[in-house]
Structure 1
Amino acid sequence: MERQHLPATNAMFHGERGTTINIHDGTFMQNNHPPPTVAAVHNCYNEKDGFTHLQAHVATSAFDSAQKVDAPKCHPNTREAVQDDIMNWILPTVMRIQWMLWLNGAAGAGKSAIARSIVALCLAQNIPIARFFFFRTDATRNTIEPVVATLVHQLIQQIPDLLPIITPKIQSDPLVFTKSLETQLRYLVFDPLRQLNSVSPLSVVVLLFDGVDECSGDDNQTNLIHLIADFLRSRELPIIAFFGSRAENQLKQIFQSYEVATNLQQLALDDHYLPDADIRLFLNDKFAQIKTTHPFKDHLDTNWPDPAHVQGIVDKSSGQFIYASVVINFLLSPRRNPGQQLEIIRGLRPTGNLTPFAQLDALYRHIFSRIEDIDRTSLILAWTIFSHWNLRPFIENCSIINDIPVLLADLSSVLVYEEDSIRFLHASLPDFLLDKTRSQGYFLDKRIWCTRISVYWFSKMSAGRPIVKLDIPSAFLQYAEGTAELRKHVLSFNCRQAGNPFALNDYLTALRKVDFGDDGELYRCQLNCTTRYIFDPETRTDSIHMSRFQKNHDISEILAQIESEKAAEARQRTEETRPASTAIDALDISRNGPATDADATSQHVKPRGRKRGASRDVDVEGTPRRSFRSRPQITPSTSSGEPTTAPGTSRQDQGRAKKRRR
């Protein structure tokens, strides 16, 4: 058998202990590599050089990060007003009043970008500024441990005279970085600065802490602020502290405490600084850059983008730069057409595998992950998003929602609860919650939540609880799923509980949209009951609403049935109220036949006499005759139980009738 010759191939295999075996055209070559170098583990006990010991505890990314997730500085010509306010606080023209400043705002408002711009301005003016930018997903800078070492490293770099003061301290106490935050701040920051200031007076030193809310542990956040406030209370050193964070409850509490508030200036990134104008400027500059430099610029229309689309992005940003920034980053992708990318942003084109809002979604998911009672919080958000009603009716009728401020406390950076209403600080947040691929475990399924709210509301009504506004549950019912539980409660609903009959029109319109799998039987049943109630004269529904009701719902057969029932009742009443004498005459006529003219004449002849004691009137010949004495007509009894006489009956005849009854 002839041996088959395999084609020459090139391949590489990995041998043991780092060896590599290459096969090239049938030739084997073995390369031996040195074992990988294992990074030396820092040991505080063995370190003799204080500065080297310090560097081992520094979080470089906390002050000089190359990561893309970090916010850049402010876009040129934007946020100028707030930057001016901060720099005027750092370099006051009069005597300093506050030694601490808190820049706060909604998530994604641009606080970190402003902080980085302040750092650049300070460094440009040779103002020493040691900073620490916390970031929740970076393990090297989301804890309190590396804060002091990172600050000290920067202070030594910017104020070299601190080096001979601080390094001996570290050498004499190698375990200093394992001690409490208070001890580290006093021993390595404030005492050295005090010592240096006594020899060579300092102008101003800035300690900047950004993203304090992203430091792990609420206690660590508040403890940092409390300690810095304690050290600055004496105001003997030219050291000031800048804090930037979201206005979360634990931070508002510490900043509003007497010990801190008396030495604090607050700056809130709100509409006072006209953020929409800055966002629009940022967008216009970036769109101009795309039209000039993008590889697919030739595929864009001359008038792209439409000014209305730019305004739509501004509106969606709600004063927060993060939304506009995310949109621009998505459009800047050099591998895709910016025009098509913008259509994806506007919802006109499917996203496919793209994730245009990945950065924003990560922020939202992080915020929602901190909610303790996600079910009841989602119920409140569903009520707000799926209806136009404020929360007051919900609070009054829903016993499980009695602590809304507590439930929404963890969402203070993305929404505001005031006057029984929720105001979203991010207009894009509802979009996030209604998109399952983005919100994932925090997705608000409209059908499920509207069903839950409808079931709860109708269960209250079917139990006999009065409801002031039927149009409230109607707002949710139209999107609900026709479950057996919902059907049971709707069947038990009495339309007379509506309070306002005008709301029944919208209720039935909503009910007609729900598929209970009964071919509309439940709707027709409720329509029949409601029609009879609305067109009942006692309901007193005005003609305008009755006309509207008839226009929206086909009730012609029901109205015809009502008229037929009224006619039948009228005939029955006529039979019941017919006079008794008329019935007797009709009976005599049926027995003796129709009366003749002679009979009619004889009935008007005056009787000549009567036999005494006869049971009925008899003429002298003994021929019986009928008496035509006036007889009262009996009608149904009144509410007092006494019968009533027919109209026109004299009082004398009424008296005779009473005697006969006795």
Structure 2
Amino acid sequence: MAEVVNINTFPTGEPALKHLAPYTEPGAAMDSSARNPPPKCHPGTREKIGRKLGTWLDDHRQEPNMMWLHGPAGTGKSAIAQTFAEHCYERGRLGAAFFFSRPNERNKPETVIPTLAYQLAFHCRSFNAALSDQLASDPQWMTKAPHVQLKRLIIEPLSILQAQEDECIRKPFMIILDGLDECEGERAQFDFVGMINEASQLNLPLLWLICSRPEAHLQYTFSRVAYCGREKLLLDDECRRDVDRYLHDELARIKDEYADITPALWPSEDQFDELSSSASGLFVFASTGVKYIGDPTHADPVNQLKKLLSFLKHADAIGANNPLATLDLLYTQILNDVPEEKFPTTQRILGYLINGVQVPIFYQPTQVVCNFLHIDKSAFYSALRKLHSVIAVPAPEDASKTLLRFHHASFQDFLKDPNRSGRFVADVRKASVDAAKLGLFWHSIDTTRFHTNDGWHFDGEHRHASLPDLKWVSPDNEERVSRDVAVTATQCFWVFGDLSNARDEDLFSLAHGLDFRYVDQYYFPQLADWLYREDPTDSIVRTKPSNELDMRLLEYLRTVIGQGRADPATFPWKDADTWASRRRTYFFIGHGEKTTIVCVTECRDRWAKHTLNLDKEPTPQQIQEYQNCLVKFKWSETPDYEERAETVAKTAEGENGVVSVQ
């Protein structure tokens, strides 16, 4: 900003421009060299929103004088604002435009009103004269609060021109504020929306277009604003077609520019489809990719495209030469806004969300996720307050039925790659360990309180009272949320199959503390296999009896299977070999009275898991149920099974000194 002049020497009648200039931000203007080249809509794209804005400009009487255009990061809001600003200028209807930019420090709230007034004075001589008189009446207007400046520097000069029926305001001027979310301070953003809303209801010859990301505080602010139009940019089919058109035209331009080195059929259909799929309607991704492909310093678009597509598949293939640097800068900037003390919670949520994308069982409504993570409503919304531009965060009233999701997969990819996200990396392994811990925590509470009598028929519907200590429920959804948390906890046992070299003492301790008599028997192999892989010497998982209690469990198993044969299981756990049509194996898990013996019966493409505990001898009903299972499996002790069983038994006996149940 230029050096401030002594406003107390302002002479009556001197033009306003000279004396406003020191208080303005010239780089925020539509045609500023600081923004050259500015983002613009590619020809033939964003036509629908362009027509809506054009109609509003020409026939504003049918619409409010204020409109909020919002959408996720990278959807082209600034390009739309720039293109529309140029359209208004060509029509002689542009009053002013302020393009906020936090990285370029064009975000000081005290410069906004002076900049708008300066541009209005530049575009309209009559306004210039009226503003000059206004400044002459009190040379200290430039030091006033923004709402006072708006009244004195814009509203009052326009009111004077209205009273004079000046020709220059026969049609309203358009004022555009782009990127309001980048204005310094949420309070200032809130105040600007309120001021503009009040001004828009004064029947002045002004239309106000505000463009921003849908940050939480702005959603709240605009929800309290009356007489304001709203347009939401969606990553829909139309947006994807627009991005495809942009990609097609830009790649054709690059091909013409490098006609001597690009093949006639470049890019191939598969390459274009892959690039289009990755962009998925996100203009910022497409523009970043095009810049990389056509980079004149490389002058090799064919190879650049290959590298980009390779990067999208294997990010480490390019190393430090990141073709998505611009997009990464945008995402880094967004994450930098998260307060440091909030970020650990933010990171846990992001990690869970990434796991949810990879493991569909984690896909649960937002309120369920919060309770599962032991995060209350306030902490959740505080942690994601700055991330509404990259994550679809449902309103509290919708959280019980709406999923938490990324706006675009590119943000997920950014978070997973430490070379791109740096300190913001979402450690998927750590998130999986966290999910496993929480799964054991909730499953332990659930089973020891409500499932001690389930036996072989675990109540997967969780038709019981609500879990204790849920962080965010209401009377009308507590039962459902509790059930979904319990289901999620049970499903977390699948995570153990993917945990490798993830020794975490807290997780290991939680697993050791389980009462295995009541754990859902369906998931025992995954948990037992993980425990074995973490520490093969740990006796919590074993295939031979280690004490009298284990021997009693072995007798229980012999009672259930009758004259059949069962062999000690082998770890690491392996599914039945393709050549083995049948097998029945067992192992012990747990210590003392909490031990259970697990019997896994496999027959071709069918299998069943049954557990026996020390506190209950096998009942006649259980014995009959197991025999019914064998009939259903068409089980028989045929020679091929006997041969396979003998091999397993000999191997187990040689390694562990274990004898099979006969």
**TM-score, structure 2 normalization:** 0.70
Matched, 1:219 2:181: no
On the 8 A contact 1:104/1:268 being kept in 2, the answer is: yes
2:176 corresponding residue in structure 1: 208
Matched, 1:470 2:490: yes
Matched, 1:354 2:321: yes
Cα deviation, residue 54, structure 1: 1.1
1:411 corresponding residue in structure 2: 387
Letter in 2 for 1:439: S
List aligned pairs for 1:419-568, cutoff 5 A.
419-461=401-443, 465=447, 468=487, 470-475=490-495, 478-480=498-500, 481-499=502-520, 501-508=521-528, 514=533, 516=534, 518=536, 528-529=587-588, 532-533=598-599, 534-535=609-610, 538=622, 542=629
1:166 corresponding residue in structure 2: 131
Residues 445-492 of structure 1, C-alpha deviations (whole Å, 9 max, x = no match): 222232233234335556775564533143256235123433333334
Residues 195-218 of structure 1, C-alpha deviations (whole Å, 9 max, x = no match): 112222521111111111110111
On the 8 A contact 1:458/1:490 being kept in 2, the answer is: yes
* Structure 1: 5+ residue stretches without partners: 1-38, 568-662
Q: Using the aligned pairs only, state the percent identity.
A: 25
Q: Note closer, same or farther for the CA distance 1:437–1:267 as it changes in structure 2 (3 Å cut).
A: same
Cα deviation, residue 105, structure 1: 0.5
- 1:299 and 1:446 map into 2 onto residues whose CA distance is 41
2:81 corresponding residue in structure 1: 115
Letter in 2 for 1:193: L
Cα deviation, residue 110, structure 1: 0.4
Matched, 1:340 2:298: no
SS in 2 for 1:360: helix
On the 8 A contact 2:247/2:290 being kept in 1, the answer is: yes
- 2:41 and 2:649 map into 1 onto residues whose CA distance is 67
1:623 corresponding residue in structure 2: none
Q: Note closer, same or farther for the CA distance 1:522–1:331 as it changes in structure 2 (3 Å cut).
A: farther
- 1:535 and 1:96 map into 2 onto residues whose CA distance is 70
Q: Note closer, same or farther for the CA distance 1:238–1:300 as it changes in structure 2 (3 Å cut).
A: same
Judge which range, 179-188 or 398-407, deviates more.
Answer: 398-407
Cα deviation, residue 143, structure 1: 1.4
Matched, 1:127 2:88: no
2:256 corresponding residue in structure 1: 292
On the 8 A contact 1:316/1:426 being kept in 2, the answer is: no
On the 8 A contact 1:134/1:142 being kept in 2, the answer is: yes
Larger radius of gyration: 1
- 2:249 and 2:531 map into 1 onto residues whose CA distance is 51
Q: Note closer, same or farther for the CA distance 1:523–1:250 as it changes in structure 2 (3 Å cut).
A: same
Q: Note closer, same or farther for the CA distance 1:150–1:68 as it changes in structure 2 (3 Å cut).
A: closer
List aligned pairs for 1:151-300, cutoff 5 A.
151-199=116-164, 200-201=166-167, 202=169, 203-235=171-203, 237-257=204-224, 260-261=225-226, 263-271=227-235, 274-294=238-258, 297-300=259-262
SS in 2 for 1:146: helix
1:621 corresponding residue in structure 2: none
Judge which range, 117-126 or 339-348, deviates more.
Answer: 339-348
Letter in 2 for 1:502: Y
* Structure 2: 5+ residue stretches without partners: 395-400, 449-485, 544-570, 574-586, 590-596, 600-608, 612-617, 636-640
1:103 corresponding residue in structure 2: 69
- 1:343 and 1:136 map into 2 onto residues whose CA distance is 33
Q: Note closer, same or farther for the CA distance 1:492–1:399 as it changes in structure 2 (3 Å cut).
A: same
Matched, 1:371 2:338: yes
2:457 corresponding residue in structure 1: none
SS in 1 for 2:386: helix
SS in 2 for 1:242: strand
RMSD of aligned alpha carbons: 3.3
- 1:40 and 1:408 map into 2 onto residues whose CA distance is 39
- Partner residue of 1:76 out of 43, 51, 59: 43
Q: Note closer, same or farther for the CA distance 1:70–1:447 as it changes in structure 2 (3 Å cut).
A: farther
Q: Note closer, same or farther for the CA distance 1:331–1:509 as it changes in structure 2 (3 Å cut).
A: farther
1:61 corresponding residue in structure 2: 27
- 1:368 and 1:360 map into 2 onto residues whose CA distance is 13
- 2:343 and 2:308 map into 1 onto residues whose CA distance is 28
2:553 corresponding residue in structure 1: none
- 1:565 and 1:62 map into 2 onto residues whose CA distance is 80
- 1:557 and 1:417 map into 2 onto residues whose CA distance is 58
Cα deviation, residue 557, structure 1: 6.7
SS in 2 for 1:209: strand
- 1:502 and 1:125 map into 2 onto residues whose CA distance is 70
Letter in 1 for 2:185: G
Cα deviation, residue 177, structure 1: 1.2
- 1:407 and 1:557 map into 2 onto residues whose CA distance is 57
Q: Note closer, same or farther for the CA distance 1:189–1:473 as it changes in structure 2 (3 Å cut).
A: same
Q: Note closer, same or farther for the CA distance 1:442–1:292 as it changes in structure 2 (3 Å cut).
A: same
List aligned pairs for 1:594-609, cutoff 5 A.
none
Matched, 1:381 2:358: no
SS in 1 for 2:208: strand
1:51 corresponding residue in structure 2: 17
Q: Note closer, same or farther for the CA distance 1:42–1:298 as it changes in structure 2 (3 Å cut).
A: same
